[in-house]
Amino acid sequence: MEKTVITYGTFDMFHIGHLKLLKRLDAMGAKLIVGVSTDEFNDVKGKKTLIPYDQRAAIVEAIDCVDMVIPEHSWDQKLSDVEQYSVDVFAIGDDWSGKFDFLKDYCEVVYLERTKDISTSGLKKSLTRLLSVSSEDLTNAFNVLDILRKELR
């Protein structure tokens, strides 16, 4: 039997962890459906995205292993999506472990280990730290690098 797999995510600042997850999910079945959280739903979740929904959905849709992208509008739609798309496997990162066990009556539920040391939250924190560096400190750092570069010649 060829399985249909579904997952959900925001997919903001698409990174290698996202790609590895999608490839692992693709290997679990014949069809991969990805629910991308809309901007409005991210507001409900208290998430601030850098990339608007239509662009995030287009990026995910462009990945070869993804067969279909659907908008994720609410927490409640997962069960109706499982039924509507005849989903065999619901899979998501293990940071959600146990949260979707209610779907086990309708399909297999799998929590996959996340890619170590990479997350959108981590990238956003690094970006915030970088942006908080004063222009004077950046200028001084570039001046030091320029001096070092000249000395190494």
For position 135, what pLDDT does the model report? 66
- Of the residues 31, 45, 104, 116, which is catalytic? 45
For position 146, what pLDDT does the model report? 74
For position 25, what pLDDT does the model report? 95
For position 120, what pLDDT does the model report? 52
- CB-based contacts of 88-93 (< 8 A; 24+ apart in sequence): 88/1, 88/3, 88/4, 88/5, 88/29, 89/3, 89/4, 89/5, 89/6, 89/28, 89/29, 90/5, 90/6, 90/7, 91/5, 91/6, 91/7, 91/25, 91/28, 92/7, 92/8, 92/9, 93/9, 93/21
For position 1, what pLDDT does the model report? 66
- Structural domain spans, the chain: 4-115, 119-153
- Of the residues 3, 31, 47, 124, which is catalytic? 47
For position 13, what pLDDT does the model report? 77
The answer to whether 45 is a known catalytic residue is: yes
Below-70 pLDDT ranges, the chain = 1, 115-135, 137-138, 140-142
Q: pTM of the entire structure?
A: 0.76
The answer to whether 116 is a known catalytic residue is: no
For position 124, what pLDDT does the model report? 44
For position 136, what pLDDT does the model report? 72
> Span 4-115: which CATH code?
3.40.50.620
